[in-house]
Amino acid sequence: MDQSQLIECAKEARELSYSPYSHFAVGAALLCNDGSVYVGANIENSSFPLCMCAERNAVYNAMMDGKTSDDFAALAVIADTDGPCSPCGACRQVLSELFPQNAPIYMANLRGDVKETTAKELLPFAFTGEDL
């Protein structure tokens, strides 16, 4: 399968989008080494915000107090999880833009497990303003 054929598969998948609110239909096609193709389309829900995570609340709260990424030194995230609590994808994206790339992020749980990482490690190929 060549590039144009794969793009066509994604275009067809886009027709299956359920986007009655944004009217922003997106399709995707994933070609595997064995030649199989997996397609996907965006599916919306009427509950737009769903939630706001602790990490984002902390960062946004600091920013509302006049702080910038130049002010941020570290971040800790904790939850009652089996392993260290890892930021969700939305938080990773926000951290990739609003948190220093190499500042420590401590992922922890109530059992005392801790894993140190960085925004760059959490989302190495982040979508940035340069992509717009």
Domain ranges of the chain: 3-41, 54-124
Q: Would you give the DSSP letter of residue 83?
A: S
* Class of residue 122 by CB neighbours under 10 A (exposed 0-12, middle 13-18, buried 19+): buried
54-124 folds as Cytidine Deaminase; domain 2 (3.40.140)
H or E element, residue 9? helix 3-14
Determine if the pTM surpasses 0.85: no
Sign of CA dihedral 54, 60, 63, 68: positive
Mean pLDDT of the chain, nearest integer = 75
Residue pair 68/97 in contact (Cβ under 8 Å)? The answer is no
* Active-site entry in 8, 15, 44, 55: 55
User: pLDDT tens digits, residue range 82-124?
Assistant: 998 788 788 899 989 998 999 888 887 769 988 999 999 999 9
Q: 132 is written with which tokens?
A: 């717009």
Q: Is 130 among the catalytic positions?
A: no
Range among 26-30, 41-45, 78-82 rated most confident: 78-82
Q: Point out the least confidently predicted range of 34-43, 72-81, 118-127.
A: 34-43
